[in-house]
Amino acid sequence: MKVKVVQCHPGDGAFPTFSKGTAVKITGEECAEFGHWFPCKIDGYATYIPEIYLADGILIRDYNPTELVQGVGDILDVKEIVNAWLYAANENGTKGWIPAEAVVSRSINF
């Protein structure tokens, strides 16, 4: 699915990809704004993770928490939707997360 960015998203830094089986420590309460996402530490990195990627404090799939840095008008190809966040690729092939509120679907004329 293609979407268009309608709200600038500055991102939150770049992270490595953490492999399935990596231990994750939840460090706080569920995010109030984006349900089912939790603050955590993975290999010393502070970030957020969707609970569906975890089982008993272990990653059940590879995970990279890097957010896409995108400007208004950019077109993205959505790969996955997880609790109000999209994992998408931009036109250069760079992948990352962006909040769903920052985009509109292709059904809107752009």
Q: How far apart are CA 47 and CA 29, in angstroms?
A: 13
pLDDT digits (tens, 9 = 90+) for 34-64: 999 999 999 999 999 999 999 999 999 999 9
Which residue spans within 51-102 are E strands per DSSP?
54-55, 58-59, 75-82, 85-89, 95-99
Sign of CA dihedral 19, 15, 38, 78: negative
Q: Which fold has domain 2-12+66-105?
A: SH3 type barrels. (2.30.30)
**What residue has token string 């004329």?**
109
The overall pTM is greater than 0.75: yes
pLDDT band at 106 (very low <50, low <70, confident <90, very high): low
User: In the chain, which residues fall in CATH 2.30.30.40?
Assistant: 2-12+66-105
